[in-house]
Amino acid sequence: MKRCKTWVGILLLAGTLVSCGGGGGGDSPSTPATNSGATPPSNGGTPPNSGTPPNNGGTPVVSTPGRFEESDAAVSLSAGQWTPTNPNFGWSGGTAMQSSMAGATATFTFTGTSVRWIGARNEDSGVALVSVDGGPGKRVDLFARPNEIRTPIITLDGLTPGRHTLTVQVTGEKSAEAHSGSSAVVVVDAFDVEAPIVSHLQETDPDVVYSGSWTQDPSAAWSGGGVASLPDPPHGGARFTTTAGDKITLTFRGTSITWQSGLGPDLGIATVQLDGGAPTEVDTYSPARKYQEVVFKAAGLADATHKLTITATGRKNAASTSPKIVVDAFDVTTPGTRHQQDDPKITYTGKWTPHNVNRVWSEGACATSNVKGSRAIFTFTGTGVSWIGCQKESCSGVAKVFVDGAFKQQINNWRPVPVEAYQHDIFRVDGLTPGVHTLMIEQQVDTGYIVIDAFDVRP
């Protein structure tokens, strides 16, 4: 059976990715490419915003939002060409399917104006063609240096209200950066209809505060693990403790939150509190090992600031060999629409590296610049916007932020080791007059990178 790469317990140092490896110089340590006034190139055409018009009587077509697993009746996999994925990872719904056979297809029929494919990215991943309603395909390269499962691959917004079919086709091709032994695998885990914005925050995020004696595990089995780039040490992966009373607190703004950990024969019991409420006990013991598993979720929250606290109890299931608690990552959802770094609404001037895949970026890639005067100008329609980027040792660029041409703030993105903020809300403004606006990010230094991962727009 072809499998996604396991990487269990192995420290993979993608060594001297002389970039913001997480944040920095992109696919190679060479001089960033010039991209004056142009959008970073994407991997192909954009699927058309086609679809079924309203019924003949003019009755609006109602979307059917939610998550649909790969096993759902609305999903069809070409016969004999897909196999189960590695069960040691926390796939959505517990399972996922994969293929590296050129021509293999997965189709998802849904009703709505937005759809998101949930899959996997790592060094074994290949290239897929994604299309809607038989329109032109968009090439999506799934190669990434960290091993990310149950991750958003691509979101297609602005479809005509009605019934659509999304098709994912395996090409059998792979990135030029992929190692010779990679299998060009494509994973279909789930699909989301009318999904909110998702930010996948690492355990190293500056909004995560630790109390006690936590230890770093940089294994590539964990989200964000197994990669490092100078001058950053290998601080990705997960953190763990076996000491009762050790805790972490994450301050976030959003409408739902998940805690991603693991399950295993040597894991223990923690309590989780949201906004100081009653604690919920979470037992992470399992006889079988599983990585990147969601062990707690809270939904239906107000779009406001919240605090999630995880406390190690020092207790364990009678069958477990240890009370160890692991903190790997968090998914925070917020209302609005996310525009990725290659969105045509973004204009880049100066010198940018358009396709950095060295860290856990939103939908796999970001744009970076370490050249003074380089600008990213995002034109949007809404009442609020956020710049999603990176802050850490090697992402030490300084940016000036302008809204509609007016200076708003200067931001130094440097953070001390071991802080590493990915998919982080760097700047946010709300209360704008409904209509068209611009947000401009301007690099102020020639040392240290700034990262354009995405922009979030609130209507």
pLDDT digits (tens, 9 = 90+) for 220-274: 999 999 987 766 667 789 999 999 999 999 999 999 999 999 999 999 999 999 9
User: 242 and 223 in one domain?
Assistant: yes
Is 8 inside a domain boundary? Answer: no
Task: Tell me, yes or no, whether 239 lies in a domain.
Answer: yes
Three-class DSSP category at 93: helix
| 175 to 50, 113, 227: CA distances (angstroms) | 30, 31, 18
The ranges of the chain with pLDDT < 50 are 1-56
Amino acid in the structure at residue 130: V
Q: Is residue 32 part of a domain?
A: no
What's the CA gap between 352 and 188, in Å, rounded?
32
pLDDT at 133: 97
Residue written as token pair 């929250």: 301
Q: Are strands 406-412 and 398-403 parallel, antiparallel or unpaired?
A: antiparallel
Residues 178 and 159 in one domain: yes
Which residues lie below 8 Å from residue 430, measured CB to CB, with a gap of 6+?
A: 383, 384, 458
Q: Dihedral sign for Cα 188, 190, 195, 200, please.
A: negative
Helix (H) or strand (E) holding 428: strand 420-429
For residue 77, give the CATH number of its domain. 2.60.120.260
Is residue 316 located within the same domain as residue 216? Answer: yes
pLDDT at 179: 80
Q: Is the bond leading into 418 cis (omega within 30 degrees of zero)? A: yes
Last residue in a domain, options 281, 296, 327: 327
**Domain endpoint, select from 176, 197, 218:** 197
Q: Which one of 299, 327, 355 terminates a domain?
A: 327
133 assigned to some structural domain? yes
Q: Are residues 154 and 93 in the same domain?
A: yes
Bridge partners for 157 per DSSP = none
Q: Which letter does DSSP use for residue 196 in this model?
A: -
pLDDT in tens, 299-357: 999 999 999 999 999 999 999 999 999 999 999 999 999 999 999 999 999 999 999 99
**On the CB side of 439, how many CA atoms lie within 13 Å of its CA?**
26
- Measure the CA dihedral 105/96/70/343, to 10°: -70
Residue 30 lies in a domain: no
What confidence score (pLDDT) does residue 180 get? 80
Residue 61: predicted pLDDT: 82
Question: Is residue 165 domain-shared with residue 281, that is, in the same domain?
Answer: no
- What 3-state DSSP class applies to 92? helix
Nearest alpha-carbon partner for 388 in 440, 452, 336: 452
DSSP 8-state assignment for residue 26: T
Task: Give the model's pLDDT for residue 455.
Answer: 98
Residue 145, burial from CB neighbour count under 10 angstroms (0-12, 13-18, 19+): buried
Question: Helix or strand or coil: residue 311?
Answer: strand
Task: Assess whether 175 and 249 both reside in one domain.
Answer: no
Same domain, 292 and 262: yes
- Number of CB atoms found within 10 A of residue 212's CB: 13
Give the span between the Cα atoms of 408 and 394, in whole angstroms.
24
Tell me the C-alpha distance between 292 and 189, whole Å.
Answer: 14
Whether residues 414 and 371 share a domain: the answer is: yes
* Residue 160: count of CB within 10 angstroms of its CB: 17
Q: How far is residue 316's CA from residue 269's CA, in Å, rounded to a whole number?
A: 5
Residues of the chain by 3-state class (helix, strand, coil), percent to 5: 0, 45, 50
Q: Which has the closest alpha carbon to 103: 72, 128, 76? A: 128
Quote the pLDDT of residue 16: 29
43 in a structural domain: no
Inter-residue contact 261 to 268 (CB < 8 Å): no
Same domain as 450, residue 365: yes
Q: For tokens 């090992």, what's the residue?
A: 289
418 and 385 housed in the same domain? yes
Same domain (yes/no): 212, 256: yes
Element (H, E) at 406: strand 406-412
Q: Does the residue 433 lie in any domain?
A: yes
Coil/strand/helix, residue 34: strand
Domain count within the chain: 3
Identity of the residue numbered 5: K
Tokens of 304: 């406001």
Does 16 reside within a domain? Answer: no
Question: What residue numbers bound the domain in which 314 lies?
Answer: 204-327
Q: Are residues 294 and 356 in the same domain?
A: no
